[in-house]
């Protein structure tokens, strides 16, 4: 039973999340022969201030990028 956990910063639309679930499931079916009804995909949205990147909190890093 595949379990996939996707962690992203907040902001994805419901349609984008649905596409991620479809595509990840389709890849597991195609590549590993897994059954879609046994595949679990969890999307966790994390605030940018709770995510670090390049030694900075992501919201600070984005502000620096302009």
Q: What residues are labeled active site? A: 2
SS (H, E, C) 1-51: CCEEEEEEECCCCHHHHHHHHHHHHHHHHHHHCCCHHHCEEEEEEECHHHC
């Amino acid at each position: 039973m595949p379990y996939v956990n996707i962690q992203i910063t907040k902001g994805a639309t419901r349609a984008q999340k649905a596409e991620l679930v479809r595509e990840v499931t389709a890849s597991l079916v195609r590549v590993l022969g897994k059954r879609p009804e046994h595949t679990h995909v969890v999307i966790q949205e994390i605030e940018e201030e709770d995510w670090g990147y390049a030694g900075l909190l992501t919201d600070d890093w984005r502000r620096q990028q302009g």
